[in-house]
Amino acid sequence: PDQAYLYTRPTNAVYSSRNEEATSIRTEARKDKVLRANTVDERTSAYQTLVAQSPLHNESVKTWCFDNLSVIAVLDSLNASGPMQAMINTNNVGVLGHSLGGAVAGELLQYSDVKAGINIDGFQFGSLIESNLSKPFLFIAADRPWVGGSSISNDIFFYASSSDCYMASFKGFQHRTFTDLGAFENVYSGNFDWTKSSTFHKNLRELVLWFFNKHLKGQSDSDNPRSDFGDSVKLWDSNK
């Protein structure tokens, strides 16, 4: 297929407009300024500018939040009666997302329905820049050694969190390699070494499971996988 097919272009006007906002030179320059910031204050200021100048991204985050809350409401109704009665614990919901979906995960923590969340390599668009995290959260990011400052663009939320918060940086990853797109080598191989994919994604799965098991199921921290990652993953813990 045509390479352009990979960018998933629905015909709706909202997506088209947001895509123009996302790919504009100005937006990329603002993201780059966030990534290259050398201090928390500098990154916070750059982040505030990025979010303020990205109204369509913020609107998408808000819309997707309501979509998620609608799903939780449906699960509540299924849990109340019928063949799935009492089978779903909707009082203990966790959410994760990649890219803009990661921003949605962060935004959803402001609602009582969601207890913990994970943002996988997404800029935190939405309203979280105006407040602090008060529930367990994990930021996962691709290691970006070619830019100055922290490789974790969301460290400002980590430092300001009033709850358990973590950051993880995956060495050798790019934004798209957190997904399975590159596994379809004939379509979209990129520059990632997919011969190492099973090990890298095993680490990702183990980290996600450890986080949700700890903060949704109350399992012991003794099974923290950080000791098994070697130098492929760096993990920061707000409690350490």
Angle at 154 between CA 153 and CA 160, to 5 degrees: 140
**How far is Cα of residue 158 from the mean position of the Cα atoms in its chain?**
13
Provide the β-strand partners of residue 170.
142, 233
- Give the global pTM: 0.85
- Per-residue pLDDT at 179: 79
Pair 121, 140: CB distance under 8 Å:
yes
Question: For residues 169, 175, 178 and 183, what is the CA-based torsion angle, rounded to 10 degrees?
Answer: -140
- Per-residue pLDDT at 10: 54
Spans in the chain with pLDDT lower than 50? 1-8, 148-149, 186-188
Distance, CA of 202 to CA of 206 (rounded, Å): 6
- Per-residue pLDDT at 187: 47
- Per-residue pLDDT at 36: 87
Angle at 171 between CA 108 and CA 37, to 5 degrees: 65
Pair 170, 121: CB distance under 8 Å:
no
170-194 residue pLDDT tens: 887 778 778 776 566 544 455 555 5
